[in-house]
Each structure stands twice: as C-alpha cells, then as structure tokens.
Amino acid sequence: MSIPRFKSYLSICAAVLMLGQIAAVQAEALPDFTTLVEQASPAVVNISTTQKLDSKTASADMPDLDSLPPMFRDFFERNMPKGQKSPRGDRQREAQSLGSGFIISPDGYVLTNNHVIADADSIIVRLSDRSELKAKLVGTDPRSDVALLKIDGKNLPTVKLGDSDKLKVGEWVLAIGSPFGFDHSVTKGIVSAKGRTLPNDAYVPFIQTDVAINPGNSGGPLFNMAGEVVGINSQIFTRSGGFMGLSFAIPIDVALDVSNQLKKDGKVNRGWLGVVIQEVNKDLAESFGLDKPAGALVAQIMPDGPAAKAGLQVGDVILSMNGQPIDMSADLPHLVGGLKAGAKASLDVVREGKHRTVDVTVGAMPTDDPDMNGNAQGSADTDSNRLGLTVGDLTADQKKELQLPNGILVKDVQDGPAAMIGLQPGDVITHLNNQPLTSAKQFSDIAKALPKNRSVSMRVLRDGRASFITFKLAE
C-alpha cells in the first residue's frame, strides 16, 4: 500500500472511531427509564367504572325500533351495546369509562381524576397482578379534578411522592397509564411549562408537558427522573380528538392537599376574595398608569364579599399578595385558593396610579358561584357622543337588579370606536377613562375630553359579568 493510500486509510479509521465515540456519548446522555418503570409500575392501577342509565336516558339516542323495517330492526337489536335491552322492553344499560390511578398508601388509598369516576355507580380498580378490587369513593373535588378512592388491602405497592414546586421546565418526565385500555403503557417527554391556567380551571396551576397522553391515561401518574410522582395526568389540548403534543397534569402538591382534606373532612375548603379579575395587557397597563403589563385587574366585586369588606375597588390592579408577586392574573386564584377561610392577606394594589396596601380577611369559597346575572332593560334619556354610542341613564330598579351604584345603559351602537371594540345594546358601562359614571351626560362630557392616540379603558358589564376593555381615538 502506498504512503498516500495508507494515510487516507488512517484518516478514515480515525473518522469512524470519532463517530463511534460521539454515538457512545450521545447514548450515555439519553435517559434510561427502565429501572424507574420497573419500580413504579406495580403501584399504577387501571380504573373502570359503570353507570346505570334509566330507561329514558338509555333510549334517548336509540331509534324507535317498532317503526323500522324488520331488516333494520334486527340489525339494531343485534348490535346493541352489551347489557342494553331492546327499547321495546325494559330499557336499561350501563355506561362504562376507563382511566388510570396510583396507590399512595400501603392500606389502599388511590388518587385519580374526578372526571374518571364522576357519576359512577361502581368503581373497579385493577392492580398490576390483574386482581380486581371494588373501590369506595372517599371524596371528590371537581374544581381541581381530583378524586380519592379506597380499596381493601395491606402492604400494597405505593408510588414515591415528589415535590412539584421543584420541577423545572425542560426536565424529563414519564407517564404510566392505560390509554385506550392498554395497561401500563409508558410514554415520556419533557416539562413544557409550569403554572398554566386552563378555561374553567382557575385553581390549578397545571404542568404542561409533551408526554403522549390519550383517553385512558387520565388519573395516571407523571414521574420525574427520580421515580417520584410530580403530577396527575389530567387533560390534553386537541383539535383531532387525540394527542397533539400538549398535555396537562395537576401538580402533586395540589393533589395531595386536596386528598388530605377529602380524607379528613370529605370536602375541600378554599380561600375566596369575591372578585372577578382579568389579565392586564399592554393597553390596559398604559390606561392605568402602570410601567409594564402585570398583576390582576379587579373587574368586578361581589357584594358583601371579603374584597368588598376590605375596601378593594373596581379598577384596582393587584400586584402581589403576602409578598408573592402576581405577574399574570392567573397567579392570584392559585395563591388565594391555597389559603383557608379566616387567613389574613396583604395585597399590594395600584389605584389611580398610586401604590397602596389593602389588608383582607380571606373568606370561604361558596359551594356555588354567586348569582351575578342581570339584564338592563327599560328606557332612559339618551345622549350621543364621539364614540358612536347612544346611551341612557339606568333606572333605580335597574340599578337594584344589577346591584350597581352607578352606570349607564348602551341603547344603540353606530359605526365608530364602540362598534370596533364590540359593544352591544344592553351593555352597561360603569367606568370610562378610570372614572365612575353616574349619568349619560357625564359619559358624553368625559368622551369629549378623551385624549387622542392613547389607550383609554372602559369597564363594561354584560350578562352579569364585568371586564375592562381598551380603545384609542385616532381623530
């Protein structure tokens, strides 16, 4: 072999060796889940439920078989779900659901999702050895979607419980559950975000992951690399009905607090301020004189609630509670919900551009949300203005019905700024440019003096719900 060829051969060998070393390093860098799965799987359970439906419910989605031709009648009867009788006889069937859970104590306490066992007449827990046990429902909390079950047993395998507060974005996590009924299926991913708030779930700071979660995974554990449960897999965001890379888990710290209260009292007690809040965007921040978008804007205050008694006002922006900053409005419900009724809280508030402290005694969250509904009706004097609105004064009866000390009624919306921001006849405007409104004339006077090319806030009440909106006048 010539020297040039020999050198070329050595170069190729060196390159192959280097590629092998790189591959080895990469292999070592990838996580190994095998030990974690072997140790944790025995404590993960499959949960199946049945719910008996009455004859009216069972037949609501079934055709009248007597009215069908014989061929079609035989087809429907042949393909009815198991356990459902013909609508021509005693009609009853059982609805079934499937989910996951995990054992948290050797004597048989099991955590899962509320929606897995909601309205169930029978709950069966299947262990890793395929044995099945009937479970008793200890308690459930729909607001956090957590349920606590109890099965009879001793020295049962349990999961290790972790600290979800220490979880970091980008950290590897693993789920074990029963997607579509396939027991002990394992999927992995990373933590995508923390503290997510989802619609109708204001009291849970969800962990977002890209772990593959599908129907049947609900209620199952989310593990960190130390084999500790850091969350309960609960929801996915999807447009297809299946996994699309967005999964959400209830932090285990939240779930354990709920389960401990369910075990002790059979219910969950949460702190409550009695306010409706909204996010502070750039335009709202400008209109309220804030340096940057932050905090929770108080859009509505419940009559006789803790906030009302403490002197909190509509238009206040809450920047912190007990020294804990509120960067996003969703931070406030998490903090308040973690307190018990009677606890003291100190709120850092911006009001009319000035910082002040409001001390409040936290109340207990009502079982049902207070009735905030009310519709403004009736006639009043009207006055047109540069916003493209026809407005009128509220009558005494309307103020009483809406529980409002002030405000004006939107009677008509023409082309202009009001139409562009979505105002509708029947809306009630209580504040304009941070000033409370007492009459239609005052509204017109304020509207005439509004600044140009600057964000202006308006508080609007619609169907009993209040919110601040912003707009700019260009002319």
Cβ pair 26, 19 in contact under 8 A = no
- Residue 385 phi/psi, 5-degree rounding, is -155, 175
Reply yes or no on whether 145 is catalytic. Answer: yes
Reply yes or no on whether 218 is catalytic. Answer: yes
Catalytic residue chosen out of the listed positions 86, 105, 115, 384: 115
Identify which of 219, 46, 225, 80 has the alpha carbon closest to the alpha carbon of residue 145: 219
Burial status of residue 235 (CB atoms within 10 A of its CB: 0-12, 13-18, 19 or more): buried
Say which residues have a Cβ less than 8 Å from residue 276's Cβ, sequence separation at least 6.
Answer: 298, 299, 300, 301, 372, 465, 466, 467
In DSSP terms, 109 is beta-bridged to 150
Reply yes or no on whether 355 is catalytic. Answer: no
Burial status of residue 18 (CB atoms within 10 A of its CB: 0-12, 13-18, 19 or more): exposed
CA dist 296 and 318 (Å) reads 5
Cβ pair 12, 1 in contact under 8 A = no
Catalytic residue chosen out of the listed positions 141, 145, 283, 383: 145
How many residues are present in the chain?
475
Catalytic residue chosen out of the listed positions 59, 97, 178, 218: 218
Per-residue tokens: 429 = 């405007």
Triad 329, 471, 457: Cα angle to 5°: 55
Catalytic (active-site) positions? 115, 145, 218
